[in-house]
Structure 1
């Protein structure tokens, strides 16, 4: 049995549950908190390796509910960019300071999340999709997803401004991360991240995944579109704040 404490199991189980709810119901957001929560007890690299197989299972369960509800053009633009981002992450992983990435991404995520709640909500207009912006967001999402499992904010930055139907919005996120997380398995395996201990811990938490996905799907159907978008932006603020805190903690404390 892996040498971890009971507190780790309790916190990690809660983190997996809220990640499943967030992923299937609100297109992620809370998922950015999972690795930091686990990292209170184990190394961030170990936490990321444990979570990747779990995330892949969540993606596979979620995609069935959204198999007909995703924006094909947005998905293609984002995925093409993300493949480049994953490649960059693989080649530069040993040279990049993950905390610098967390700080930059946290600031951008916070600014975008807060901007939604500033000013007259009636003036919030739908923005047309831009292939160039989507491509850049895809590259950033692929890179940050690889180094810190934090690819959600760049994707949301691109999609939220389009004011898509809430189900199409979540479905596009689900389809995007289904592809990205499956691709990430290759470099993670190549880097030796899937030890027997890590895989055993992933297996222990897998039974929680269906419950989280089911709860997320139920909540998605119950929540009105405007409230859904407010929750999504609030999740961006939480994720941005957590990323910023995690990135700055080694410098401050």
Structure 2
């Protein structure tokens, strides 16, 4: 199975020219790479332009609204709109959105809307802190079960589960990547949660990826030792050489 690498550009870069430059460099980095599928999630204003030139690179969104435009929602973008301009994926439940007040209920509604519109969902879950009593596991379990509540099992095949502990995200002060051994243990626990929710056969088909201070030095270890199906890369996906090295490590 190909490893799934999601590039979350967040609110970057500042111009379409820069976005095209980084995107073109990403496409060049894929030359000869057979073991990875790459999806770039730029700010929404760049999606249409980049999707038109996507070729072997998928394009996704970083956010979506849960209604389809039948009501007035100033400033929002629906799943159908994203789909119409070429988006194939959408990130939902990222901790930086949760910090702005998005609840598990809102995240669940967004996931439902995105799946119904035909988008694949990168569903993020992860604890704010790691406690010695391992109560953080219940936090992650709650996020997953509430986020997937009421979803038709036929649509679960379009879910990617991204484990991204908040304390490991590079944009946070004192952030430090989790270690591959710990990620392996948690990915096993997450797989068990998915099995309880959806049954064994379906749960085994849902990719589990890791995010949180991923860089060229640790990317390969998270895949080989952490046992995950891919990576969610933040700031390092904007650094052309660093991201090239991350992608290159997928073929070793």
Same-fold call, TM > 0.5? no
The structure with the largest strand share of the pair is 2
More helix per residue: 1
User: Normalized against structure 2, the TM-score is what?
Assistant: 0.28
